[in-house]
Amino acid sequence: MRHVQGRARRAGAALAAVLTGAALLAGCTKDPFGPGGTFGDPPAPGDVIHISPDDGGKDVRPDQRLRIEVPDGRLEKVLVVKSQDAQDSAVPGRISTDGQTWQPDDDRLALAAKYTVDVVADDADGRRTARHTTFTTLVPDRRFIAYVTPENRATVGTGVIVSLSFSGEVADRAAVERAVRVSAQPPVEIRPHWFGRSRLDFRPEQYWKPGTEVTVDLNLRDVQGAPGVYGLQDKTFAFTVGRSQVSVVDARRHTMSVRRDGQLLATVPITAGAPQHPTYNGRMVVMDMQDITRMNSHTVGFGGEYDIPDVPHAMKLTNSGTYVHGNYWSPDAPGHVNVSHGCVGLMDVKGGSSDTPAGWFFDRSLVGDVVEVVGSNDRTVAADNGLGGWNMTWKEWKAGSAVK
């Protein structure tokens, strides 16, 4: 940025000198800018150099085009500087081959910015003319942001899905989708899928390979997500994919097999959802991990069946309240009978202990690890319930893009 600002200042100083000379010698009858000029009063700069938006314009909308034209002559120098958030940067652009127009590389203006335009051109008679204009763009009243999962600089399991939850509904989903880029090293195809108008997820066709570095670029600033509502963020997030861990819960056999990088670590006894409250089938992803949490049946749509203030080793799998967690209140259930309200319970003690199956599993888990449930009498978990997108086929997933 220092290099760009320095270049902008140097170019601006050179153009300022031209402008100063034009002001001092405006009363001369001969063009003062070197040989080739003609006698006679020079035309007004605004008659030679046409700049849009107008000089002194305020609240210019971002879709208004920045354009510089010399209908009868040639452009010699153009410098456009954008001032935003107390930083100056030169706006890249190009002069047409005939020398009569200049256009920026990006047609969209930034919001809440001041633009300074300095132009030097020759008119049809070879007289050099300089023009200096400024305008300011719209400062929007309403903004939207995206909340990103997983966290920046996190190390996560191979089943993580990049999920963007927007602060409001997005009307122009295609524009917002184009403003988000998710890339990986080593490279892999990553595709987006919309769930409604306020959530956008990204994933590859298969689980991430261990060691993959993933970068999320949010270029949302000034993107119009809904009428009069513009994005605020211009940020980059990154995370690292750790080892692979996939655990398969067999609700019928009351077991969970834990595999690390394809190798079986252990098979532990579990208790799944009781017949009247079965556990979802399908692939779920660990979204959050808490040493101890409170679980109240009222918060997940049940009545007053339970209120446990100190559930140990809790790992969240769905937004609707499915967890893998320690169970100390039904010590005889794991491995024998399903008694929960839909969660997966492992043997534990009050307060939690690393020496129990629940503590052992918790200590070896990451956000982003996969827990797959089979053998339950319930339906497959919905793709938007937590990070359940792995339950969709690749064709179904790709069909959820707003950019066709």
CATH number at residue 41: 2.60.40.3780
List the CATH number of the domain containing 289. 2.40.440.10
**28 a catalytic residue:** no
Task: Output DSSP code: residue 109.
Answer: P
For 238: left if phi > 0, alpha if psi spans -120 to 50, otherwise beta; the answer is beta
Strand partners, 94: 103
Query: Which of 242, 258, 273 represents a domain boundary (last residue)?
Result: 242
User: In this structure, are residues 349 and 330 in contact, taking their beta carbons and an 8 Å threshold?
Assistant: no
What is the enclosing helix (H) or strand (E) of 5? helix 2-24
Gap between the Cα atoms of 306 and 284, Å rounded: 24
Q: Average pLDDT over the chain, rounded to whole?
A: 89
- 9 backbone dihedrals φ, ψ, rounded to 5°: -65, -40
**343 a catalytic residue:** yes
Q: What is the reported pLDDT for 44? A: 85
b/e string for 317-330 if b means 16 or more Cβ within 10 A?
bbeebbbbbbbbee
- Indicate whether 386 and 251 sit together in one domain: yes
Gap between the Cα atoms of 331 and 369, Å rounded: 26
- Indicate whether 236 and 354 sit together in one domain: no
What is the enclosing helix (H) or strand (E) of 397? helix 394-398
Query: Which of 242, 258, 291 represents a domain boundary (last residue)?
Result: 242
Residue 29 covered by a domain: yes
Confidence of residue 304 (pLDDT cuts 50, 70, 90): low
- Indicate whether 214 and 132 sit together in one domain: no
- Indicate whether 233 and 110 sit together in one domain: no
Burial of 363 (0-12, 13-18, 19+ CB in 10 A): exposed
Q: What is the reported pLDDT for 39? A: 42
CA-to-CA dists, residue 139 to 135, 217, 227, angstroms: 13, 23, 14
Gap between the Cα atoms of 355 and 177, Å rounded: 46
Q: For the chain, what percent of residues have pLDDT higher than 70?
A: 88
User: In this structure, are residues 343 and 322 in contact, taking their beta carbons and an 8 Å threshold?
Assistant: yes
Residue 396 covered by a domain: no
294-297 long-range Cβ contacts below 8 angstroms, 24+ apart: 295/323, 295/325, 297/341
Residue 401 covered by a domain: no
Tokens 């190390």 label which residue? 155
Helix (H, G, I), strand (E, B) or coil at 396: helix
Q: Encode pLDDT of 25-45 as tens digits.
A: 333 333 433 444 444 567 888
Q: How many domains does the chain have?
A: 3
Residue 222 covered by a domain: yes
- Indicate whether 185 and 283 sit together in one domain: no
Q: For the chain, what percent of residues have pLDDT higher than 90?
A: 79
User: In this structure, are residues 129 and 42 in contact, taking their beta carbons and an 8 Å threshold?
Assistant: yes
Residue 191 covered by a domain: yes
List the CATH number of the domain containing 151. 2.60.40.3710
Would the pLDDT of 6 be above 60? no
**Which of 193, 313, 325, 341 is flagged as catalytic?**
325
Q: In terms of residue numbers, what domain contains 235?
A: 142-242
- Indicate whether 218 and 146 sit together in one domain: yes
User: In this structure, are residues 278 and 380 in contact, taking their beta carbons and an 8 Å threshold?
Assistant: no
- Indicate whether 204 and 294 sit together in one domain: no
Query: Which of 137, 154, 187 represents a domain boundary (last residue)?
Result: 137
- Indicate whether 234 and 299 sit together in one domain: no
User: In this structure, are residues 244 and 157 in contact, taking their beta carbons and an 8 Å threshold?
Assistant: yes
Gap between the Cα atoms of 275 and 174, Å rounded: 43
- Indicate whether 36 and 116 sit together in one domain: yes
Gap between the Cα atoms of 260 and 249, Å rounded: 15
Would the pLDDT of 3 be above 80? no
Task: Output DSSP code: residue 338.
Answer: -
- Indicate whether 249 and 238 sit together in one domain: no
Q: What is the reported pLDDT for 299? A: 67
Residue 403 covered by a domain: no
Mean pLDDT of 150-159: 96
What is the enclosing helix (H) or strand (E) of 398? helix 394-398
- Indicate whether 251 and 375 sit together in one domain: yes
Q: What is the reported pLDDT for 339? A: 96
Confidence of residue 177 (pLDDT cuts 50, 70, 90): very high
Gap between the Cα atoms of 51 and 134, Å rounded: 10
- Indicate whether 70 and 171 sit together in one domain: no
Residue 7 covered by a domain: yes
Q: What angle do CA 47, 52, 53 make, to 5 degrees?
A: 130
Alpha helices by DSSP H, listed for 25-143, are 45-48
Q: What is the reported pLDDT for 122? A: 93
Residue 402 covered by a domain: no
